[in-house]
Amino acid sequence: MLPSILVAGLNTAIGLAVLLILQQGPGAYVLLAVLVAFFYLAYRSYAGAMNQHRTLTEIYDLTGAISDTPHDGTLPDVLLGRVRKLLQAEYATLWMPAQGRHPEVLLSARPDDRGLLDVAGSPESLRKQAVESGQTVAGGAKLGDDQTRARLREFGAKDAIVVPLRASSAVIGTLEVAGRLGDNLHFRPGDVRLLEAVAAHAAVAVENNRLVDRLRFDAYHDALTALPNRRRISQALEEAVRVRAPGEVVAVLMFDVDGLRDVNDSLGQSAGDQLLAEVASRLRTLSPPAALVGRVGGDEFVVTLRLPHAEAASRLAAELRQQMQDPMTFGSLTLDVDTAVGISLHPEHGSDPATLLQRADVATHAAKSLAGGVQLFDLALESRSVRRLGLAGDLRRALDNGELEVYFQPKVTLRDRRLVGVECLARWEHPTHGAVQPEDFVAVAEHTGQLSRLTEVVLREGLRRARQWVDAGRPLSVAVNLSPRTLVDPAFPDRVDDLLREYGVSPDRLTLEITEDGVVDGVDRLLPILRRLYDLGVHLSVDDFGTGYSSLSYLRRLPVHEVKVDRSFVQGMATDPGDLAIVRAVVDISRHFGLSVVAEGVESELTLELLEEIGCDIGQGFLFSRPLPYERLEAWLGAQTDAEPTPLGEVRRLRAVG
C-alpha cells in the first residue's frame, strides 16, 4: 500500500500545483508549458537510455550465451532464438553455404515453433546480394530502396535485414531477420546496426565451432582419404569388443596395398596418393554397411566389424580383395590394384585394440607370400615376425663378414639327362638360430634396404663359379633369383654388365629369374629394365609360373627366354589331371612363343616320364639333386663324368648323390 499512497500523494501535489499556477493568470501558462516540455524531454531521454541499456544487456547476454555454448551443434538454436527475441522478428535465419565436407545450412527460428526450421523469411536474392557485395542488405517501410521493397513484397515479407557473416576477409554466410512483429512496427536503421553488432560476434562463434569441429575431425581421420585413422579405429574396436554378442567375433581385416613404393618412385607422390584414394574409395564402397573402414598407415587400411565366425571373416576378406583388383588408370598407364589381407579376431587373438591391430599386421606380412593373399593370424606367425625383427642387424653383419653361402641346384635336360646349368640359392647358417629360411632373410633384406647387397653377393658368387667352370672346360649357366623391387632400380642393368665384364662371363651364361607376380604386377613399369637386361644378352626367366593371376598372353609382351613351371603343379601332375593339363598348356604356349620350359620340383620318375612325354626341356628337383654347396657340387660333377650309365641308371645315381 505504501507505494500506492506515495504515488497518489505525489499526483495530488502535482495537480494542486498546476491549479495554483493556472490561477495566477495567462503568464503562468508559459511557465507551465516550459515545465511540461522539460518533463517530456527528460522522460524521453530516460526512456532512450533505458532502452539502450536493455539492448546492451541483451547483447551482452547473447554474446555470453554464444561463448558458453558447447561445441556440440547447438549454437544455431541459442543464436537464432535470442536474435529473434532481441529484434522482435518473425524470422531469425542463419545461412551458410556448403564448404568442404560441411553441407549447406539454412535454419530459422519462429515464435510459434519449437526447434529450428529449414525455411527462410526473406528471398534468396537478398542473401546472394549480401554475400556477393559483402554489405548489409535491408528493406522495409523505414529501410532500403524501392527495388528491395519490391522483392520483399513479391516474396510476401514486410521487411528484412540480411547481414553477411565475416571470418577474416571471407564471407562464410549470413544472419537474417525478417518480419518485425506488430502491424505498425518496422525495422529501423538502429536495428540494422544492432544486427550487425550481433553478426560480428556470431561470425567468430560460428568459425570457432567449425574450427573445433575440423580439429576434432582431423584428430580422428586421415587427411588424404578422410577415413578414420588408427585412433578412431581403436575407439571403435573398444566399443565393438564391449558390445559383442555371445558367439560373435570382432574381425580386423588389414589390407596392405602392393607396390605403393614402386608407384611413388616411378610416377611420383601424387600418383601414389591417387592410388591410396582409389583404394579407400573402393573399400568404402565394397565393405558391408556395418563395417568401419579406416586407414592406419601409409599403405595399410583396416575394415572392422562383428561377424558370426572366423570363416565369415576369411570369406569377406577374400571377396573384398578380389573385387578391388580392377585396374587403375594414370593417364596412359594402367596399374593393377592388388592387396595382401591379414585377419585377427576377438576374442581368439586378443581383447585390446593394439593387440588386434598388431596381430592383423603380422598376418598381413605373411599374406604377401601366399598366392591367395589372405592370412588368418596364428601364434606361429608372431614368433616368426619377432625373429625376423632380430635378424636385421645380424644380416647386415653377415653380409659384411661374408657369412652367407651360395648353394647350387643342378638343371638337367630331360631329353638326354645332360647337366646344363645351376640355380644359385643363398643360404645362411645363423650362429644362434641355426639355418635361417631364405624367405625370412630375404624379407628382412627387403624391409631394411639390404636387398641390393644380398643380390650382388649371390650374383658375384654365381659368376665367379661360372668363370671357374668355363676355365675347367665344362661351361655351365647360372641362374639367380631377383626380387621385383630390384627391377625398379634403373642402375641394376649397369651393375649386371659391370659384373659380367669383371668376371669375364658371357651374358648368355647368366639367367635372371623373376616371379610371375613380380613381373605381371606393373609389367609396364618393369619393361624398360627387362629390355635393357635383354639387350645385354642376359637370359630372363619367369619363375613360379602358374601361381599368379596373370594371363599367358603376358608372355607375348615380356622379353623373356624361359618359363619355369611352379613345383606345386609339377609335383601333382602324376596324380591330378588338372595339374597335368596346366603343365601341358604351359609347355604348349611356351613353345608357341619360342620359350624353353623348366619344370621345378621333379621328385619322381613318373613325373619325369610325363614331362619328357609332353615335351618339357629342362628339369630341376630332388630327383636329380638337392641344392649343394660348391664343394659337394664339384664331387657330384666328378661322379657324373666317371661313367656312362644308362639314362635311367644315371637318374637313380644322381638322386643317391643328392
The residue written with cell numbers 577415413 in the block is 227
In this predicted model, what pLDDT tens digit does every residue of 295-305 receive, in sequence order?
988 889 999 99
CATH topology for the 230-377 domain: Alpha-Beta Plaits (3.30.70)
- In angstroms, the CA 335 to CA 319 distance is 20
Return the pLDDT at 520.
55
The H or E element spanning position 16 is helix 2-22
| Secondary structure element (H or E) that encloses residue 177, with its range | strand 170-180
- Region 296-324 average pLDDT: 91
The per-residue DSSP string of 179-240 comes to: EESSTT----HHHHHHHHHHHHHHHHHHHHHHHHHHHHHHHHB-TTT--B-HHHHHHHHHHH
Burial label, 15 (beta-carbon count in 10 A; 0-12, 13-18, 19+): exposed
| Region 471-488 average pLDDT | 88
pLDDT at residue 603 is higher than 70: yes
* Cα–Cα distance measured from residue 543 to residue 52, given in angstroms and rounded to the nearest whole number: 88
CATH topology match: 69-220 vs 385-635: no
Mean pLDDT, range 346-361, rounded to an integer: 89
- For residue 619, the model assigns a pLDDT of 93
DSSP state letter for 104: P
Q: Which fold has domain 385-635?
A: TIM Barrel (3.20.20)
- The rounded mean pLDDT for the chain is 83
pLDDT of 651 higher than 80? no
Read off the pLDDT band of 66 (50, 70, 90): low
Condensed to tens digits (0 to 9), the pLDDT of residues 135-148 reads 999 998 888 888 99
Which three cell numbers mark 227? 577415413
Per-residue model confidence (pLDDT) at position 388: 63
pTM, 2 dp: 0.51
Question: Among the ranges 34-48, 255-269, 403-417, which has the highest mean pLDDT value?
Answer: 403-417
For 56-86, give the secondary structure using H, E and C. HHHHHHHHHHHHHCCCCCCHHHHHHHHHHHH
- Helix H or strand E segment including 135: none
Top-level class of domain 69-220: alpha beta
Q: Please, which pLDDT band fits residue 479 given cuts at 50, 70 and 90?
A: very high
Question: pLDDT of 452-464, one tens digit each?
Answer: 899 999 999 999 9
The pLDDT value recorded for residue 553 is 56
Query: Which one is predicted more confidently, 581 or 56?
Result: 581
State what percent of residues in the chain have pLDDT above 70: 87
Stronger pLDDT, 258 or 562, i.e. the higher one: 562
pLDDT band at 273 (very low <50, low <70, confident <90, very high): confident
Query: Tell me, what's the pLDDT at 448?
Result: 76
Angle at 167 between CA 164 and CA 170, to 5 degrees: 70
Task: Average the pLDDT over each of 68-72, 327-331, 602-606 and give the range with the smallest value.
Answer: 68-72
What percent of the chain is modeled with pLDDT above 90?
30
**Predicted local confidence at residue 647, as pLDDT:** 43
Q: How many helical (H) and strand (E) elements, i.e. helices and strands, does the chain have?
A: 23, 21
Query: What is the mean pLDDT of the segment spanning 541-562?
Result: 69
Contacts of 2 (CB under 8 A, 6+ apart): none
- Taking the domains of the chain in order of start, what are their residue ranges? 17-61, 69-220, 230-377, 385-635
Averaged pLDDT, 654-658? 42
Which range has the worst mean pLDDT, 169-178, 331-340, 609-618? 331-340
pLDDT at 82: 82
Within 10 angstroms of residue 201's Cβ, the number of other Cβ atoms is: 16
pLDDT at 327 over 70: yes
- In this structure, of 244-248, 389-393, 605-609, the range with the lowest mean pLDDT score is 389-393
Q: Is residue 416's pLDDT more than 80?
A: yes
Average pLDDT of 15-37?
A: 80
